[in-house]
Structure 1
Amino acid sequence: MSKTYQDKDTDAVARFYAQAAAADDAREEDPEREADLDEVADGLAQLVEGQTVLELACGSGRWTEALAESAAHVLALDINEAMLAQARARELPADLVTWRQADALNLPADLLSGLPPGVEPVKTVFIGFWWSHLTRAAQEHLLAALRARVGKDVQLVLLDDDQVEGTSPPIARTDAQGNTYQLVNGADGERFELPKGYPTDSALRKRLGNAAREIRIARWESCWVLTCRLK
């Protein structure tokens, strides 16, 4: 775990979202999608009630705020300081949320040292709308890193979007490893080719089967949620 993981594709994802944060990019809300996400938020509150949660790639903190409604504490990480600035602006109580700038693909050895005294060990890892931006190699690396840092039997919750015809940018290409990519414009006009996957249930089970057990998947029109426990 001491070797630094480097991936040009995940670097591109980080730069794309850093531009969005710097530009204070606000996307037009889709009422149907927002209704799906509100329902998901209610379910997440039940999943993490009373638990310490590690959130990876927390972005602007939307899901951190939702998790903090019922969790005992949320340790929220993001690689982009601009995103964390937006998240901190939510002014969530310090006894409920700890913000930290960190690369989720290179989790620091002292990952949990910044938690307030008396906080219980991490029981749930939450990843919202980032898993689908990881290549297959990056996903495998992340699963191994999580098992090394937080141990087995920890609950893993993935929330990500589904492809919606007429709304989602089309897949531009597929590489030799089966990773799919979209072409999107950054906030400053730069053109990005980003990894983006819309996995089926069977593909998700296959991807996580060696690292997790008790895999359950729920789908809405615009998103899906997977829960499992790390082996």
Structure 2
Amino acid sequence: MNQELLNYYAASATELESVYEQPERQADLAAMKGRVAELLRGHKVLELACGKGYWTRVIAATAASVQATDINEDLLAEARRDAPANVLYVQADAFDLPASAGRYTAVFAGLWWSHVPRENQERYLAHLRAQLGKDVLLVLLDDCYVDGTSTVIARTDVEGNTFQLRPVGGERFEVLKNYPTDSYLRKKLANAVREIRIERLTHFWLLTARLK
């Protein structure tokens, strides 16, 4: 993971889930939580970049089991304080997962895909397929860019990645944050997955597919 992004998440740990408290997002959040819980009902789920476990708790309500991973041990320590019985929190780098084919039936990432550089996305999907095996359900949930609510885009690089400047405790971090269109998602994922379905509300989008 990009070191600047690691530094940002370490510095912003106390306010990491504040995005889920914004009043204008509550209706969309309620709808998405219902969809995620239903999609992952009965599954053995691997969660990527779980943070403090916001989506972990949603998934655990219906899933058979959840292994929730994050690279930041401090965030995991907070998540473990309120861990459902069917959840195991494990420190792991989402970009360097151990082989576990057949162990999981689904993989979930909430507000994480937008931090994967565009030039690395296809390679990362190949990594998921190699480590988890084919036919695993992929569920990606992320946020949409909304004028007046989202942090403004500070710059765009040659690959088309967009970056935001986010202040935390007197410091300012340049954070990679992409906002893909449906057509871009379909094109980028086409070689790695099948049965792509995308749902989009004002503040969030949800993609489901099967690893090939």
Specify which of 138, 156, 165 is matched with residue 138 of structure 2.
156
- Aligned residue in 1 for 2:39: 47
| SS class of match (1:170) | coil
- Aligned residue in 1 for 2:83: 91
- CA 190–74 in structure 1, closer or farther in 2 if over 3 Å, else same: same
The CA deviation string for residues 38-78 of structure 1, in whole angstroms up to 9 with x for no partner, is: 11111111111111000000011010000000000001000
- CA 26–146 in structure 1, closer or farther in 2 if over 3 Å, else same: closer
Q: Tell whether 2:97 aligns with 1:107.
A: yes
Of all paired residues, the percent bearing the same amino acid is 53
Question: What's the Cα RMSD here?
Answer: 1.7
- Aligned residue in 2 for 1:226: 207
TM-score where L is the length of structure 2: 0.94
Distance 1:50 1:199 in 2: 30
TM-score where L is the length of structure 1: 0.86
| SS class of match (1:171) | coil
| SS class of match (1:184) | strand
The CA deviation string for residues 70-97 of structure 1, in whole angstroms up to 9 with x for no partner, is: 000001000001111121111321xx11
Q: Tell whether 2:22 aligns with 1:30.
A: yes
- Give the CA deviation at 1:14: 1.9
Distance 1:121 1:68 in 2: 17
Unaligned ranges ≥5, structure 2? none
- Give the CA deviation at 1:25: 5.4
Unaligned ranges ≥5, structure 1? 1-6, 113-119
Q: Tell whether 2:36 aligns with 1:61.
A: no
Aligned AA (1:138): N
- CA 37–24 in structure 1, closer or farther in 2 if over 3 Å, else same: closer
Specify which of 147, 153, 166 is matched with residue 184 of structure 1.
166
| SS class of match (2:165) | strand
- Give the CA deviation at 1:180: 1.2
